Amino acid sequence: MTTTVTPRQEYEVVLEPLLSVPLERELPLGQRLWQQGWLRKGLILILLALAWEAIARYQGNDLLLPSFLQTAAALSDGLLSGELLAKVGVSLVVLLKGYLLGIVLAFGLTSLAVSTQFGRDLLSTLTSMFNPLPAIALLPLALLWFGLGDNSLIFVLVHSVLWALALNTYAGFLGVSETLRMAGCNYGLRGLRLVVHILIPAALPSILSGLKIGWAFAWRTLIAAELVFGATSGKGGLGWYIFQNRNELYTDKVFAGLAVVILIGLLVESLVFNTLERITVRRWGMQR
């Protein structure tokens, strides 16, 4: 017995053009504002300041914890008098010297490591030895070798920057694909030229991470070293400003100095490193 199968009837649905629906829709003002990173971070800072003020008022001891308003007043007085700006200038000059020297040495060491087997062994041995060593532990040696001055601070700053940046840079170089390496070799690039034209652009996300880590290590090391060294070369930096006011029990000025340390870190992160990432790795599609 045969069964007759009725063929399925085809339907054609003509879609109406959506002429009445706009192709673009403007977001509400609240959503547009919330998409701004600076606004979200600003709200976080405001909430932290309010919490600080509330805790300080509840605690009721200005010597142990001055309020946010008292700290802001001390910060304003220090900036207007020029005292804080002078201290910041002294610290930043020393910091830039040590940071830049550490960058130069780190790139030289990693360039040697990607070029020769001896360089790889040298980098592996030195980082295993010195990377776990805190920079503060080198303060006694720095005093013996360089005396009480900027050179001692620069020595410990180079140590804090060099190994973190070298490790991140070398890890980035190892992550570069073999295709890019062979393309560079086909163009006749060898040694330092291969590093500059191929490896550094391809490993830039890791290099920028190393630069940020090195900056944070250097900034922390400088403040700690100034607390120990005191006034270097007859001038005191930001760490010495904090230490001196702590001895004189000006706790609001101590918090003002700490606030300057935090603000400088935020400014460098936002204005320097975020700008570098935006015009390089994000623009090139290497990072979201």
| Mean pLDDT along residues 248-268 | 90
Q: Which structural domains are found in the chain, ordered by start?
A: 55-60+67-279 (1.10.3720.10)
78 phi/psi in degrees, rounded to 5: -65, -35
pLDDT greater than 80 at residue 122: yes
Place of tokens 């190892």: 174
- Cβ–Cβ < 8 Å for 156, 138: yes
**Spatial distance between the Cα atoms of 139 and 144, rounded to a whole number of angstroms:** 9
Q: Is the pLDDT of residue 288 over 70?
A: no
Q: Dihedrals φ, ψ of 2, to 5°?
A: -100, 140
Q: Is the pLDDT at 93 greater than 80, yes or no?
A: yes
- Give the pLDDT of residue 9: 64
**Half-sphere exposure of residue 172, counting CA atoms within 13 Å on the CB side?**
25
Phi then psi for residue 232, to 5 deg, are -90, 130
| Residue of higher predicted confidence among 136 and 95 | 95
* Cβ atoms within 10 Å, residue 65: 18
Beta strands, E only, the chain = none
Cross-strand bridge partners of residue 223: none
Mean pLDDT, range 259-281, rounded to an integer: 86
pTM for the model: 0.80
Is the pLDDT assigned to residue 215 strictly greater than 90?
Answer: yes
Tokens 């207007």 locate to 80
The pLDDT score that the predictor gives to residue 8 is 62
* pLDDT tens digits for range 140-178: 888 888 877 788 889 999 999 999 999 999 888 888 888
